[in-house]
């Protein structure tokens, strides 16, 4: 590819002059700028950002580690992260950890070798000590890793409260919650805490069934409904599901069994990602996480850590959630 | 970050020796290798792939330009591209063009500046001449750009034939096709060609309604069904939809209007991406594109162009499709 020297030669100016035009530094007459830009165009000069990255010690690359970039939640989150990163001139490298410890470690090593400016961490299989050793700016989604690693999450406690209160307001008298794995310290488990507390406040009998870790597929949820949830359905008239995919699996099961939703069984989900928005039969009653806003804040928080003064305190962000009324509760 | 010099000092060997260990070149005793690796670990040395990229003139970065990384087809394609790229030690940079000409141009410029090794092009808003000027290995999805730019696509003609033949075999006597925009030279338009030809061969009256370019959302398809397709439904008993999202929108419309599917109206889609696989009410009858395989071949074709000898002819690939029987036809 043509170099900056070739541009200088073509434009009949010095390399320093070309460099000034490129970096918008120092005085350059309009005429000189025009000549240099014309020369760049003619010889098809493209600045080498790799060389500049090495000089500046900044690559404008951000790593994004997710369990599965094809999961509707993460696909949507990635879209918004890319959009906001692009607006700030950053590029993103997508990494699919499959919630596998070894893969996550390898991706982190790869991102470090490629000198990314920072990492957005949406996969959480490693121990806290290992994240601390990364020595790069990290923002975490939905998990508290350490005091100096900010997190972004939706208001899981409020979401859990909204969902449970809604089921009770609709007349439910015995409630079931299908939660994520509660032994992991995930912020999404605040949904289960809120569920419990709200039931207790209203004197409502309740039960919680946990999903396993690292199981994010419809097929897994379908199995779970058949194996563990189905036998409970006689005893409960409302279910708060910790994500929309499990809520949909439960709806389909009820539909096939002739259990009327919402008359006999009320179902409320969590997420309202693109899958849920497209779904029309039924329109799920659910709690909306503002995925757009979460992506934006993950991005802006990380960029602030990359570019801001070191002593600046970077704060955690909890974004608000919203009840979406549908046909299932 | 610690440098190769720091490793040499710590291990008590020369920089050349460390370099040999890193590059697996020349004779190194087991003991020396152990010492060097130990030193790297102790001082937390991470090879600088940016510096190496500059030296080698290869970044192991691939650009992937899609209209919308959150569309279920592209989200799934990206997942597989990332998976296969990762296996070969390549990283991918995701670019969302929104099928916007200016954005696509800017992304291509960005990818060139970042010295990606090649581009997988799934967005096609530019003129053929502009792609030729890119001067980087390009593989295209679903569009013939030029003789030296290979493409990968599913067997659109066979898919269109399979879908149309199936509707006819189920007793349809008048057929409608909802196609992509036919004025663009997209390979997916072979579906419409096959539809026409099959109808003509069977003496079946038919009509085609085109979607607009750059409209890939459920909301757009819903509008299209209401504005243009609904008034045709009295005259047709089978519809071949060029994608599953429009097929689902049509099913929902029919359901709401009390039109029985498949008794009164048979619907067949195209794609069988994760949205369709999760969808249970109804299970769509559709044509499956093997997205996994498409991603794998896009990736391997591009890497072959990057690493192979220049004179090697890189061929186009057309992957097979499959009829998935569901509840709608």
**pLDDT tens-digit readout, B179-210:** 999 988 889 999 999 999 999 999 999 999 99
Q: Which position has the token pair 């290995």? A: B137
Pairing mode, if any, of strands B266-271 and B238-241? parallel
Non-local CB neighbours of A123 within 8 Å, separated by 6+ positions: A65, A66, A67, A97, A99, A104
Tell me: the pLDDT tens digits for A231-244? 999 999 999 999 99
The Cα B66–Cα B245 span in angstroms is: 18
Over range B48-71, report the average pLDDT: 92
Burial degree of A119 (CB within 10 A; 0-12, 13-18, 19+): buried
Tell me yes or no: is domain B56-154+292-318 CATH 3.40.50.2300.
Answer: yes
Mutation site for B-interface testing, chosen from A75, A117, A132 by largest number of B Cβ within 10 Å = A75
Q: How far is A196 from chain B (nearest CA, A)?
A: 30
pLDDT tens for B136-154 read 999 999 988 888 899 999 9
Residue of A nearest to B97 (CA): A83
Above 0.90 for ipTM, yes or no?
Answer: yes
Q: Do B115 and A53 touch (CB under 8 A)?
A: no
Set of chain A residues whose Cβ sits within 8 Å of the Cβ of B110: 91
Q: What digits encode the pLDDT tens for the residues B278-310?
A: 999 999 999 999 999 999 999 999 999 999 887
Tokens of A23: 């970096």
In chain A, where does the domain assigned CATH 3.40.50.2300 lie?
58-154+292-318, 156-290
Chain A environment of B46 (Cβ under 8 Å)? 109, 112-113
* Ranges in chain B annotated CATH 3.40.50.2300: 56-154+292-318, 156-290
Yes or no, beta carbons of B78 and A92 under 8 Å apart: no
All CATH 1.10.260.40 domain ranges of chain A, comma separated, are 4-47
Report d(CA A297, CA A306) in Å as an integer.
Answer: 14
Helices (H), chain B: 4-11, 15-23, 30-42, 49-56, 72-87, 101-113, 128-132, 156-169, 190-201, 218-224, 244-257, 274-278, 291-307
Q: Inter-chain contact B114–A96, Cβ cutoff 8 Å?
A: no
Instruction: Indicate the SS3 state at residue A72.
Output: helix
How high is the mean pLDDT of chain B? 94
pLDDT tens-digit readout, A147-198: 889 999 999 999 999 999 999 999 999 999 999 999 888 899 999 999 999 9
Cβ contacts of residue A142 below 8 Å, gap of 6+? A122, A124, A151, A152, A153, A156, A186, A187, A188
Question: How many C-beta atoms surround the C-beta of residue A234 within 10 A?
Answer: 8
Tens-place pLDDT, residues A96-145? 998 889 999 999 999 999 999 999 999 888 888 888 888 899 999 998 88
Domain covering B4-47, topology: 434 Repressor (Amino-terminal Domain) (1.10.260)
Residue matched to tokens 């020396």: B32
> Which residue from B78, B92, B278 is facing A275, i.e. has the nearest CB?
B278
Contacts of A253 in chain B (CB under 8 A): none
Task: Return the CATH architecture of domain A156-290.
Answer: 3-Layer(aba) Sandwich (3.40)
The model's confidence at residue A63, banded by pLDDT at 50, 70 and 90, is very high
CB B135 within 8 Å of CB B148: no
Residue A56 has a pLDDT of: 86
Q: What DSSP letter does each residue of B50-115 carry, written as one string?
A: HHHHHHHT---EEEEEES-TTSHHHHHHHHHHHHHHHHTT-EEEEEE-TT-HHHHHHHHHHHHHTT
Beta carbons of A79 and B93 less than 8 Å apart? no
Q: A13: pLDDT confidence band, cut at 50, 70 and 90? A: very high
Q: Which sign does the torsion angle of CA B39, B41, B42, B44 carry?
A: positive
Q: How near does any CA of chain A get to the CA of B56, in Å?
A: 12
Model confidence at A24, pLDDT cuts 50, 70, 90, reads confident
Tell me, yes or no, if A70 comes closer than 8 A to chain B by beta carbon: yes
Question: What's the rounded mean pLDDT across residues B214-228?
Answer: 94
Architecture of domain A58-154+292-318: 3-Layer(aba) Sandwich (3.40)
Cβ A104 vs Cβ A65: under 8 Å: yes
Please answer yes or no on whether B86 and A96 come within 8 Å at the CB atom. yes
Q: How far apart are the first and last CA of chain A?
A: 62
């Amino acid at each position: 590819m043509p170099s900056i020297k070739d541009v200088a030669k073509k434009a009949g100016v010095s390399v320093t002059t070309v460099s000034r035009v490129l970096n918008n530094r120092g005085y350059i007459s309009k005429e000189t700028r025009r000549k240099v830009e014309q020369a760049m165009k003619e010889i098809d000069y493209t600045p080498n950002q790799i060389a500049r990255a090495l000089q500046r010690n900044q690559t404008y690359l951000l790593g994004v580690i997710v369990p599965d970039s094809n999961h509707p939640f993460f696909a949507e989150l990635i879209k918004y992260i890319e959009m906001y990163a692009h607006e700030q001139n950053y590029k993103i490298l997508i990494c699919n950890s499959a919630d596998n410890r070894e893969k996550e470690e390898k991706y982190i090593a790869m991102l470090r070798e490629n000198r990314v400016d920072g990492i957005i961490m949406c996969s959480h299989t490693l121990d806290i000590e290992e994240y601390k050793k990364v020595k790069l700016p990290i923002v975490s989604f939905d998990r508290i890793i350490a005091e100096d690693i900010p997190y972004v999450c939706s208001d899981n406690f409020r979401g859990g409260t909204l969902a449970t209160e809604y089921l009770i307001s609709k007349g439910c008298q015995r409630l079931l919650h299908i939660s994520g794995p509660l032994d992991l310290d995930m912020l999404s488990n605040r949904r289960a805490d809120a569920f419990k507390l709200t039931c207790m406040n209203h004197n409502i009998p309740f039960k919680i069934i946990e999903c396993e870790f690292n199981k994010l597929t419809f097929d897994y949820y379908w199995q779970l409904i058949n194996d563990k949830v189905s036998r409970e359905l006689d005893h409960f008239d409302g279910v708060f599901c910790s994500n929309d995919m499990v809520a949909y699996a439960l709806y389909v099961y009820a539909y096939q069994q002739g259990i009327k939703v919402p008359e006999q069984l009320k179902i409320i989900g969590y997420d309202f990602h693109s899958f849920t928005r497209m779904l029309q039969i039924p329109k799920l009653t659910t709690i909306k996480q503002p995925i757009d806003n979460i992506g934006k804040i993950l991005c802006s928080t990380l960029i602030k850590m990359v570019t801001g003064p070191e002593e600046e305190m970077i704060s955690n962000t909890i974004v608000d959630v919203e009840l979406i009324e549908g046909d299932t509760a």
